[in-house]
Amino acid sequence: HVQLVESGGDSVQSGGSLTLTCVNSGDPVRLNCMAWFRQAPGKEREGLARITRDGLELYANSVKGRFTISRDKDKKFHYLQMSDLKPEDSAMYFCAALSGPRACYLETKYFDYWGQGTQVTVSS
């Protein structure tokens, strides 16, 4: 059983930085890929970054160069470091994971497990 819990959301000013943390309370060996998504009110959930079990990273164009995904070697934690935050980054942020030897694309339909979300608010 995999359970993901996010933390680290906060209110910051434009240009600020935050680091989000996702902890997996289940068996990390089963997880092939970890990712971060976000969803603003009235918008679809947007894939931001993913990291495979081999450490390969992929980023959405909207956050490339500003956000960095990482994980600990035991794959129990993964992180999203966010810098140069903008008001349009305000959203609920979710961590996600998928199991099994499958391709890992930044689309919600590929992911098996989700956290409850942590709110990030960026003021101008």
pLDDT at 31: 83
Task: Look at residue 6 in the predicted model and tell me its pLDDT.
Answer: 97
Give the pLDDT score at 75: 80
- Listed residue (9, 37, 8) closest to 119, CA to CA: 9
pLDDT of residue 40: 97
Q: State the 10-residue block means of pLDDT for the chain, 124 residues long.
A: 93 98 84 94 97 93 97 89 98 94 90 96 97
Distance CA 35, CA 108 (A): 10
Strands (E), the chain: 4-7, 11-13, 18-24, 31-39, 46-52, 57-59, 67-71, 77-82, 91-99, 113-114, 118-123
- The candidate with the shortest Cα–Cα distance to 50, out of 88, 119, 102, is 102
Which residue, among 62, 118, 95, 84, has the nearest Cα to 12 in the 3D structure?
A: 84
Residue 123 has a pLDDT of 97
Q: How many CB atoms lie under 10 A from the CB of residue 60?
A: 16
